[in-house]
Chain A
């Protein structure tokens, strides 16, 4: 290194020295400046995309039927790569039964009928005219974390096991407003919600939920819904198992009783050890997962790390998240962001000084109803080994002396 280069680098690193009058008089081409600082940048684009260096941040796609039914399955959020509360719309989790339909909003209509005084048909132009509300809600598939029920802990990224959860800002029309326009008859105790996908996926919803916080969602994170999220209109049932928030909504029928569709009888019922199945377990349990550090990551050296993760409850607000670094022997309260929002993701954080010794990281959430996230052992004892729904038990990550982070059962 010649003297001139040394001085130029010194000036770049120590601004104080430069401002103190020790500038070298180097020419511009010798000053600090990356290649992209020396060329004119890209022009405008109509719709922005993430940096090409973020291309590895992709959803974890599960296709149980392979090419036979490429749109049947789930696509999970890479929660291990994200921070904050809102999930980017393009990384939102997807659970689809017969792929994503290509819906023309000029042709799509929503029928509201059954036990109502006035059956009504809504065009999209009509729905877009209503007064809107905006809320932040999570959506979790009730099959989320079923991979964490495998006999042996899978060594895959956190999102590939626990990423069937996302959180968006949703804007739409309160369902109550449309139901009141149609006029509920006294016998109307349930409704059937049906999608315009080729499975016509349908679920029954009790009227109390429909009149409470159910939303006819039209916008997600400020823009109209993505096709994968139900464009142009979906039902949104805050805090309840995701598949009830029927996408591509085409029909709502008010009924006296549940319709007992395929997806509320043969699926989405929770098998117990005695062989009987619990039916209509709508609410998603209080839950949390540490996203960083998490499974398959490696801590390069001992020292400071922030333990960070997400927590949520279908019952309302998150009141507390505790973090353990010793497999549950001792716990410390994490700081929360977003805890004022009911049925939203909450971000929790805790500073941690890793000494370089083996550790087991866990998080445990408590909601405003006082419900506490159960241990994996306690949760499993309630169900048949074949039950794959509503696993909201504590997740454990081990940190080895070499810094490698693994999925473990504690």
Chain B
């Protein structure tokens, strides 16, 4: 009997020590939750993706004339004069080539949404200094590339309202199979 009591005391002390060291185990149904609240202002500084609706496009505007200057300064060294390509990918041409044995996929011949051009240029270009262009510069150089492909007029202003309305030539060239 005395042995039993002694053992009980030892077990109780051990349990208390465990609880003190390890903290309380989570209650059933309780989940770990370590994410921190974040403000709308902070989210706005992070959110750079632009869907086809244009939601999230910033203020600012630009046309192909202004965009040509941006292009020559920031893009031409890699993408060639007037988007012709070399050493990096061409940005123009390829119209009518998709169903041939030598398809050429460019902004003009293949890209389905103009918003993607703004999104990608802002997030990734120029290669050696992304996130460095002003919003006006991104709109302007986007306009220039669209103009080079004959999609918009030279004086067309690209901004948050007009850019999502640009109908790309290959807009209907995709089959959604989602598999």
Contact = CB atoms under 8 A, between A and B. Distances in A.
Contacts of B50: 259
Contacts, number: 158
B36 A281 contact: no
Nearest to B36: A121
Contacts of A272: 175
Interface residues of A, number: 62
B43 A384 contact: no
B119 interface: yes
Contact of A119 (B43, B112, B176): B43
A72 to B, nearest CB: 8
Interface string A117-139: 01111110011011100000000
B21 interface: no
Contacts of B116: 260-262, 265-266
Given A199-B124, A261-B119, A122 B174 contact: no
A276 to B, nearest CB: 5
Interface in B71-94: 78, 87-88
A259 B103 contact: no
A111 B179 contact: no
Contacts of B110: 265-266, 277
B37 A118 contact: yes
Contacts of A8: none
Interface range on chain B: under 10, 10 to 19, 20 to 34, or 35 or more? 35 or more
Given A260-B112, A276-B174, A279-B177, A255 B38 contact: no
Given A120-B38, A384-B98, A276 B173 contact: yes
Interface of A: 65-66, 68-69, 72, 97-98, 111-113, 118-123, 126-127, 129-131, 177-178, 180-182, 192, 194, 198-200, 202, 206, 250-251, 253, 255, 257-262, 265-266, 269, 271-283, 384-386
A243 B43 CA distance: 25
A202 B102 contact: no
Nearest to B177: A278
Interface string B51-67: 11000000000000000
Given A129-B34, A385-B101, 19 more contacts: A65-B88, A113-B38, A113-B46, A120-B38, A127-B34, A129-B32, A199-B124, A200-B124, A251-B46, A259-B50, A259-B51, A261-B119, A262-B116, A262-B119, A262-B124, A272-B175, A275-B173, A279-B178, A385-B103
